[in-house]
């Protein structure tokens, strides 16, 4: 049996949410340990989304984490909605005053890990079989098996930042959380490719053949996605099919240059919200508390916003003894969480060619989403509303 060590906070998960919570708490002088199931190499290499709202960048700047981001991120002032091969620009900065930043999530994670190294933060990788107990007591205990042997921590609070498949949410008795879920009937095939982006701005392509998104990571690396039927496997989409489909969905006026595919991934589109985001002395943040379909790229932004609020709540509770701070965290976060869900759901409907067993219902859904899309293209009010959601202003 290992000795039990006392710490202020145990953070479960070293994704963007967990690493940012740890960083912010340590800056306030709290003693924090992070337990991560995967290896450091795995966490650093994981390619995910890459669109940061201005508000997210502000949080990272305030935390002293944006040095590389400010030097390397691509700053975007607009996006293209390409409908049946016809381009329509949405100048979101002109409409809202705010840009967005293209900077891969794994770079955010790399920057957070660099800060953790510099600070001497206690991050335990390859921590298997994490177990939480006493969550409604003043002193929860967290145990795990690590490559260095078993560990046990008695803490004053646990931050559950361990993603959708994590252990934190599942450690709470049945009936405490209410979980809202929608499985969307399509998936995205995503590829990272060594080829210059087709345009300087992101291109969201709506076509009869399905949705496609042309994004980027740098002037020489593209990030592209295709709507594919649920159940598609990454190996089902050959390079030839990928580039052929992208070109057909994009239309001929924007010729693509196929390049070597560096990484391929399949993402099922789902919406999930867990209410409340807290139970006893456990607080949930990021994908552990909610999942958005990636249509509007809100996942990382929500994780960062949660982490900031979670750290504030823990400081108020642990240092300042505010009695309601932990309950307030959930109440404070949920309205924004639902705004992000609503926009992510709306853009998912707007962008994708409806799928389903009933062709008449799919045809109706297609007409309806095209009518809604036409409003965004024709009406300055609808375009501004879309832009306010896209840049995150609608939540802040």
User: In terms of CB distance, is 48 or 319 closer to ligand APR?
Assistant: 48
If the CB atoms of residues 202 and 387 are measured against ligand PHB, the closer one turns out to be 202
| Tokens 């309601």, residue located | 324
- Chosen from ligand PHB, ligand APR, none, partner binding at 163 (C-beta under 5 to 8 Å by type): ligand APR
All residues at 6 or more sequence positions from 355 whose CB lies less than 8 Å from its CB, including other chains = 185, 186, 229, 230, 362
Site for ligand APR in 90-109 (CB under 6 A): 105
d(CA 346, CA 177): 25
Q: Annotated catalytic, 76?
A: yes
298 part of the active site? yes
Establish if 163 lies at the interface with ligand PHB (CB under 6 A): no
Q: Among 14, 33, 35, 49, which residue interacts with ligand PHB (rule: CB under 6 A)?
A: 49
124 forms beta bridges with 35
User: One of 298, 352, 354, 389 is an active-site residue; which one?
Assistant: 298
Which residues make beta-bridge pairs with 100? 53, 76
Q: Which residue is nearest to ligand PHB (CB)?
A: 215
Bridge partners (DSSP) listed for residue 82: 87, 205
How far is CA 28 from each of CA 42, 139, 284, rounded to the nearest angstrom? 29, 20, 20
Of residues 54, 69, 138, the one with CA closest to residue 108: 69
Residue of 23, 76, 184, 352 with catalytic role: 76
Judged by CB under 6 A, the residue of 297, 300, 325, 340 near ligand PHB is 297
160 binds ligand APR (CB under 6 A): no
Neighbouring residues of 364: CB distance < 8 A, sequence distance ≥ 6: none
Site string for ligand APR, 283-322 (x = CB under 6 A): ---xx-----------xx--x-------------------
Q: Which member of 108, 296, 307, 309 binds ligand PHB (CB under 6 A)?
A: 296
Question: Least CB distance from residue 302 to ligand PHB, whole Å?
Answer: 13
Structure-block tokens of residue 243: 């580039």
Q: Cα separations (Å) of 147 from 3, 9, 38, 123?
A: 16, 21, 11, 13
Q: Which is nearer to ligand PHB, 171 or 195 (CB)?
A: 195
Catalytic residues: 76, 204, 294, 298, 390
Residues that bind ligand PHB (CB under 6 A): 49-51, 202, 213, 215, 223, 294-297
């Amino acid at each position: 049996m290992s000795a039990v060590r006392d710490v202020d906070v145990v953070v479960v998960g070293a994704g963007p949410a967990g690493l940012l919570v740890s960083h912010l708490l340590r800056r306030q002088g709290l003693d924090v340990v992070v337990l991560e199931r995967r290896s450091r190499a795995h966490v650093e290499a994981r390619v995910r989304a890459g669109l940061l709202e201005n508000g997210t960048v502000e949080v990272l700047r305030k935390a002293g984490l944006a040095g590389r981001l400010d030097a390397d991120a691509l700053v975007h002032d607009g996006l293209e909605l390409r409908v049946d091969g016809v381009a329509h620009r949405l100048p979101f900065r002109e409409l809202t005053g705010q840009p967005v930043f293209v900077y891969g999530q794994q770079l955010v994670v790399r920057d957070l890990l660099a800060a953790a190294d510099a600070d001497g933060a206690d991050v335990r990788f390859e921590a298997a079989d994490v177990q939480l107990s006493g969550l409604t007591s003043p002193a929860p205990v967290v145990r795990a098996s690590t490559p260095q042997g078993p560990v046990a921590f008695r803490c004053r609070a646990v931050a559950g930042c361990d993603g959708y498949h994590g252990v934190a949410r599942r450690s709470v008795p049945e009936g405490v959380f209410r979980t809202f879920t929608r499985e969307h009937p399509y998936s995205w095939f995503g590829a990272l490719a060594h080829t210059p982006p087709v345009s300087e701005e992101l291109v969201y392509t709506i076509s009869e053949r399905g949705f496609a998104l042309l994004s980027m990571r740098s002037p020489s690396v593209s990030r592209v996605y295709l709507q594919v039927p649920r159940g598609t496997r990454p190996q089902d989409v050959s390079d030839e099919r990928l580039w052929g489909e992208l070109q057909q969905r994009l239309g001929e006026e924007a010729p693509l240059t196929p390049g070597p595919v560096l990484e391929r991934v399949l993402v099922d589109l789902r919406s999930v919200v867990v209410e409340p985001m807290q139970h006893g002395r456990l607080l949930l943040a990021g994908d552990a508390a909610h999942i958005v379909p990636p249509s509007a790229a809100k996942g990382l932004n929500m994780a960062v916003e949660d982490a900031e609020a979670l750290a504030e709540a823990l400081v108020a509770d642990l240092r300042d003894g505010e009695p309601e701070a932990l309950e307030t965290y959930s109440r404070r976060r949920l309205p924004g969480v639902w705004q992000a869900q609503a926009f992510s759901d709306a853009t998912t409907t707007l962008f994708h060619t409806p799928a389903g067993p009933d062709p008449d219902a799919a045809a109706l859904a297609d007409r309806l989403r095209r009518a809604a899309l036409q409003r965004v293209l024709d009406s300055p009010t609808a375009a501004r509303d879309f832009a306010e959601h896209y840049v995150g202003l609608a939540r802040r």
